[in-house]
Structure 1
């Protein structure tokens, strides 16, 4: 079978269809969305999850480009194919800008739309320009207007942690969006995408009729690639990858699942794979960290610092109320909403009695990428040495040699300086957690609940369970005694795996390193 042409870095529906590139059919979702009671819809999804392609598909649909939908679900569903004038605004070009730059960018995207419809406007203010554009197009065509806004929040994300700059840029964007309410009679459909929610923007504070479908079960699979879509529409891709990697089809599916699956944007929800990573993996025929490697989450790291969020907090599953997912960025009381909206944690379960959602890191690509980006906060100049040491530790642990792994870690920590002159346990506990979390192919749990307490770190391989207790400025024997006294190992008695208890002593005051350990 001929190899597919993948739409890597292509987000235009028209081009994908004309060039016969691979397209996962999402047009049934689009048909359902535009034939509902709401004429103003908002969708939140992480970056590179297909939002821009969705906007482009909507544009082709509303422009009546029937020929582009041949063979897709829309061809059978839509009977009328009414053509509407479509205004498109891509705000992704407004990132990393000061006030003057942002105003000039808004001028640019308004001019582009005015040019398309032959509209002239002498007004300077963006809100007047947008209102004039909508009304002029409406009067000129005699049809209601469709407005598509992609990445509405892009100009604000990078300054979310800077209150003063956020306020000034938010004012500009609020001014720009304000006509959408007053022009409502002239609008057929308004669709906005973004990552997070900013309060005091007119689309949320003034458009009280906006429908947020981000957590609607009916649209759970509107972006991303579902497990069913992978196994059916991409079946031959799986076989090709398996052959390239010299593994079975089942092993290939397992690796794809471990690395790229795990996203759920509501509950219940189908398993969602990261589309960017999946397509890149099939194109390059190699498992890699494609999504995380495509952009450093600078704004996220800054917000984590602002909230004092620790790696253990991110790596530990926690419960959240449904209101937490929709919390405005400026009024967040924790980093949880932004982590969820940005795709670094996702829904892992739901408790009907409490109406609470369980949140956790989606997959190995995110876990390793996120913790690698956090490690420099705890160690200086550790990147290359750290990668080598962690890879070597991983091999030793796979063989069951925890003693050799700890010796390697001790040697590594002797060779690298720490970021600050920190002398408190929490700093080193977070550092050790990150290092263990970066060990590949293993399940790591921090403070796992057992019948009589919580273990510090539990590391589970295919045939071993390592129960580790850390003691700071105390003895390794005290750590081991706690494991025994609280019978932590009982929780794994039925696992069928060899249980290894490890008491570890860490000196904070003097060596600032692991000083001893006892293995039983």
Structure 2
């Protein structure tokens, strides 16, 4: 029986090693990283091991050789040098006021100044940081390592508040600018976060900062690969399968479906979300764990402000320039991708285009469910029960009951969406039918001239066409004229043709007509 202690939520390398938590050895990659460059940025989704990576680097730069006993780096590193480490964790703060960031930075600087002293005339946060770096280097005789965890947390929390974002940018621009001006005193610097933000000197001025996020060489730096899963957790997998009365093959397929699928570089093996995977292994249960630990409210703000077409998320195409681009208020794709809600699903080498999509079932189902309260009048407690009722009505062949319930999803549509009512209407339909699709088989339109939606259950097939400011009769006529139901005429299941009209005036479904066939 496996006796592993899974390091769920453990972000401190010393604690992990001293208290017997299991560690998937990343130190060979860490050694390569340190020896081949100086300034790095790494974007990975939350709960992907970024904090543990920085803690491991901190232990390494502090020369704590005993913590690395038995790991790959023990044989690789011949000269364990103890150097000053300035570790800044911005994940600990709540950034909702202009001075919130100043307080966090000031607290960090005060701790460093107790060790390395203060300087005359260091009146700003940036000047104090510069002074600490310089004195740490001079006093120790070794260049400094700088590690910044979740560098973008203040900016993410301030999305939608332009004034607050401006305050934070004005603070961070000179503060991070120290990394460039003090190059002679810095041995190594790594900043981690979710996404890139423009107008911050880290990316607009510090041109020697290497972005590891889409480097093939460091795909396994955070997360767990399929190779690592089977080399480290093979016994656990067999025990898991037995506990759930599944075959080993069935379990592996299920784990892959739910937690694998993160592709940060084209044509590379998928990476498992480590937090979700380890939780599943520990509890012997496949469930949604990632969304239990946080909600991407900043992402919803981006999507809504840009009137983003949610259906595009299932099959977005973009270029490497966009994926690597600095965040901008008018471009949500980089932050959606870098936050981990989309990943690379395919690559067209000829045109240099990436096809994006949800990485796995946990992300897709969790994220779509999370959107419901933001696009409908139902809260997160009510929404699952409403979806359950939708599915039951579809399975029971009750389309009229289904559409009456759907009307309630559009009730009280806010006036602020009136400027792009069609997009709002499309997004609500996408959310509802995507959630229904987790329990039934759904097909969305794939090109112009294709039916809007087909829903299939064990006993019924629904062919639906939607109109905005038209008529339900026109929608039905299009189904007949373009023979959308033809592919299902020989199917033994009962077929319903449904025409639906949505009214801009009432901001709701105005009429639907159901025609049962055979």
Q: So what's the TM-score if we normalise by structure 1?
A: 0.88
Query: Does structure 2 conserve the Cα–Cα contact (< 8 Å) formed by 1:483 and 1:501?
Result: no
Tell me what 2:320 maps to. 322
Aligned to 1:63: 62
Q: Which runs of 5+ in 1 are unaligned?
A: none
Per the alignment, in what secondary structure is the counterpart of residue 256 of structure 2?
helix
- CA apart distance, 1:407: 4.4
Aligned to 1:503: 498
- 2:319–2:352 contact (8 Å) kept in structure 1: yes
Residue in 1 that maps onto 2:384 = 387
Aligned residues, how many? 509
Task: Give the aligned partner of residue 20 of structure 1.
Answer: 20
User: Is 1:517 matched with 2:510?
Assistant: no
Secondary structure of 1:105's partner? helix
State how far apart, in whole Å, the 2-side matches of 1:62 and 1:499 are. Answer: 68
- Indicate how the Cα distance of structure 1 residues 298 and 484 shifts in structure 2: closer, same or farther if over 3 A, else same: same
Q: CA deviation at 1:245?
A: 2.8
Q: Output one character per residue of 1:233-261: Cα deviation in whole Å (capped at 9) or x when no partner.
A: 12233333333333222222222222222
Verify the 8 A CA contact 1:389 1:408 in the aligned structure 2.
no
Which of 397, 405, 422 in structure 2 is aligned with 1:412? 405
TM-score, with structure 2 as normaliser: 0.88
Alpha-carbon separation, structure 2, partners of 1:388 and 1:350: 38
Asked if 2 retains the 8 angstrom alpha-carbon contact of 1:217 and 1:268, the reply is no
- Summarize the alignment of residues 320-359 of structure 1 with structure 2, pairs less than 5 Å apart: 320-329=318-327, 331-359=328-356
Q: Does 1:304 align with 2:298?
A: no
* Corresponding residue for residue 209 of structure 2: 210
In the TM superposition, what is the alpha-carbon distance from 1:168 to its structure 2 partner? Answer: 1.4
Q: Matches of 2:501 and 2:372 in 1, distance apart?
A: 18
Distance 1:514 1:369, change over 3 A: farther
Structure 2: stretches of 5+ with no match in the other structure: none
CA distance in structure 2 between the aligned counterparts of 1:381 and 1:119, rounded to whole angstroms: 55
More deviation, 15-24/426-435: 426-435
Distance in 1, matches of 2:470 and 2:350, equals 42
Aligned partners of 1:40 and 1:211 also within 8 Å: yes
Deviations, residues 14-33 of structure 1 (Å, cap 9, x unaligned): 11111111222211221111
List per-residue Cα deviations over 1:431-470 (Å, max 9, x = no partner).
2221111132556453223xx7333234577999865433
- Determine the C-alpha separation between the residues in 2 that align with 1:172 and 1:497: 66
Question: Quick one: structure 1 residues 17 and 90, their matched pair in 2 at CA, closer, same or farther if it must change by over 3 Å?
Answer: same
- Pairwise CA RMSD: 3.1
Describe the shift of the 1:517–1:471 C-alpha distance in structure 2 as closer, same or farther (beyond 3 A): farther
- The 3 A distance-change label for structure 1 pair 164 and 235 is same
Residue 9 of structure 2 aligns with which residue?
A: 9
The superposition leaves residues 208-241 of structure 1 with CA deviations (integer Å, 9 ceiling, x where unpaired) of 2111111111112211111222233122333333
Change over 3 Å in CA distance of 1:182–1:255 after alignment to 2: same
Q: 1:507 to 1:304 in 2, by over 3 A?
A: closer
Distance 1:426 1:114, change over 3 A: closer
How far apart are the structure 2 equivalents of 1:364 and 1:513? Answer: 34
Other-structure match for 2:466: 470
Query: Which stretch shifts more, 7-16 or 368-377?
Result: 368-377
Corresponding residue for residue 177 of structure 1: 176
The alpha carbon displacement at 1:57 in A equals 0.9
The CA distance in 1 between the partners of 2:332 and 2:271, in whole Å, is 23
Q: 1:376 to 1:32 in 2, by over 3 A?
A: same
User: How much does 1:119 deviate?
Assistant: 2.9
1:485 CA drift (Å): 4.8
Contact 2:2 2:235 (C-alpha < 8 Å) held by counterparts: no
The more displaced of 173-182 and 371-380 is: 371-380
Q: Which residue of 2 aligns with 1:148?
A: 147
Q: Distance in 2 between matches of 1:98 and 1:259?
A: 38
Indicate how the Cα distance of structure 1 residues 47 and 497 shifts in structure 2: closer, same or farther if over 3 A, else same: farther
In 1, the alpha carbon distance for the partners of 2:326 and 2:155 equals 12
Conserved 8 A contact 1:263-1:362: yes
Pairwise mapping of residues 32-431 of structure 1 onto structure 2 (< 5 A)? 32-36=32-36, 38-115=37-114, 117-121=115-119, 123-314=122-313, 316-329=314-327, 331-381=328-378, 383-394=380-391, 401=395, 403-404=397-398, 406-413=399-406, 417-420=411-414, 426-431=423-428
Whether 2:25 is the aligned partner of 1:30: answer no
